[in-house]
Amino acid sequence: MKRIGLLTSGGDCQALNAAMRGVVKGLSENVDQLEVYGFLNGYKGLIYGNYRLLSSADFSGILTKGGTILGSSRQPFKLMRTPDENGLDKVEAMKQNYYKLNLDCLVILGGNGTQKTANLLREEGLNVIHLPKTIDNDIYGTDVTFGFQSAINIACDAIDCIHTTAASHNRVFIVEVMGHKVGWLTLYAGMASGADIILLPEIPYDIDKVIEAINKRTKAGKGFTILAVAEGAISKEDAALSKKEYKKKIAERKFPSVSYEIADEIQKKTGTEVRVTVPGHTQRGGSPSPYDRLLCTRLGAEGAKAIVEEDYGNMIALINGKIKRVPLEDVAGKLKMVDPDSQIVQDAKYVGISFGD
Ligand code: F6P
């Protein structure tokens, strides 16, 4: 008999359902009796005791379904130790609900913040397993997170569509890609869709170099230029500011995001018309790609195996093509960023993509 709790926390992404299905199917096949409790809307459900007893029917037909059948919410890690507005100790409340249901393990699907709270619960003595989700691909200790490949497809489609209209109108276009503080999604989608300039948080840009790259294309007879800009892209001057100064600058910025600021600078300095497209949350939506369905079925299977073996406290990761268990204490709180000297960035530069550096 196994009793497990499931929760999905933080910004959603494709394949959350596929991953939960993998775990539940794996367990259903390999344990005599199974009880699955789904906590609603992330850690909120665990804190306030909002859950549903799920049946195998809940996991049927969800391999291809986007979003999460459990709902999700953001519960910042840094506030987990702060009592709620009614003075409730959130960590104690989560422990109480876990013990009340007599759970063998909590399976927690989420990104970096979610992982930190999962590790906190592990330190508090709960059995946890973490499955790494996020379109940002910034979780340390796994080669890839689920959601990332599906989001690449969507960001890529957006840039592909911009390509044809940019060519018709001889314009400069910026497509702003999600990714929070890292540039994985922009780098992969940008390269896969033939963006001419890719701006990432990890490689601060110089606006004059960006303009140089546009002018180079114009001189070569190309009428249009596509920039894939990460939402966290940063100029060299801004990167030199202290964290506090940069925060202040962002708070006072008259543009909705960095892409509009870059567009304004290009327009002012060159007189060229620039358009900005922000696919935004579409990048997290819709059906998971076949790659993510496969990845999540494998992560789910390994998660189930770990529960059968009572091996807890790990993230289930993909490392060099193999699914592995990685101790949460080794990875929680670390961010995986694009290495500016990595082969992929060098390859991009070799084929003429400018990073504005
Ligand atoms: O972490 C996933 C992500 O989609 C980031 O790429 C983005 O910065 C953020 O979430 C958006 O968060 P929200 O959905 O809270 O606006």
Specify the ligand 1 atom closest to the Cα of 179: 6
pLDDT tens, position by position, 284-298 = 999 999 999 999 999
258 is written with which tokens?
């960095």
Query: What confidence tens digit (pLDDT) does each residue in 101-121 have?
Result: 999 999 999 999 999 999 999
226 near 163, Cβ under 8 Å? yes
**Probe residue for ligand 1, chosen from 16, 72, 150, 180 as the CB with the greatest number of ligand atoms within 8 Å:** 180
Inter-residue contact 128 to 108 (CB < 8 Å): yes
Specify whether the CB–CB gap between 276 and 227 falls below 8 A.
no
pLDDT in tens, 35-80: 999 999 999 999 999 999 999 999 999 999 999 999 999 999 999 9
pLDDT band at 266 (very low <50, low <70, confident <90, very high): very high
> By alpha-carbon position, which residue is closest to atom 2 of ligand 1?
11
> Rounded to the nearest whole angstrom, what is the distance from the C-alpha of residue 345 to the centroid of ligand 1?
24
Sign of CA dihedral 283, 289, 295, 298: positive
Distance, CA 254 to ligand 1 centroid (Å)? 21
> Among 178, 187, 229, 250, which residue has the most ligand 1 atoms within 8 Å of its CB, making it the best to mutate?
178
Q: State the chain's maximal CA–CA distance in angstroms.
A: 70
126 by Cβ neighbours in 10 Å (0-12 / 13-18 / 19+) ranks as buried
Comparing CA positions, the residue from 356, 324, 288 lying closest to residue 20 is 288
148-169 helix and 184-192 helix, angle to the nearest 10 degrees: 50
Bridge partner list, 176: 229
178 alpha carbon – ligand 1 mean position (Å): 7
Confidence bin at 171 (pLDDT 50/70/90): very high
Q: What is the mean pLDDT of residues 14-38?
A: 98
d(CA 339, CA 64): 33
- Residue 165, both tokens: 């209209």
Q: What's phi and psi for 105, nearest 5 deg?
A: -165, 150
Per-residue tokens: 217: 């294309």
| Per-residue pLDDT, 98 | 98
- Give the chain's count of helices (H) and strands (E): 13, 11
Task: Tell which one of 135, 154, 259, 278 to mutate to probe ligand 1, the residue whose CB is within 8 A of the most ligand atoms.
Answer: 135
Active-site entry in 12, 89, 104, 136? 136
Known catalytic residue: 84? no
Distance in Å, CA 11 to ligand 1 centroid? 6
Bridge partners of residue 107, in order along the sequence = 6, 129
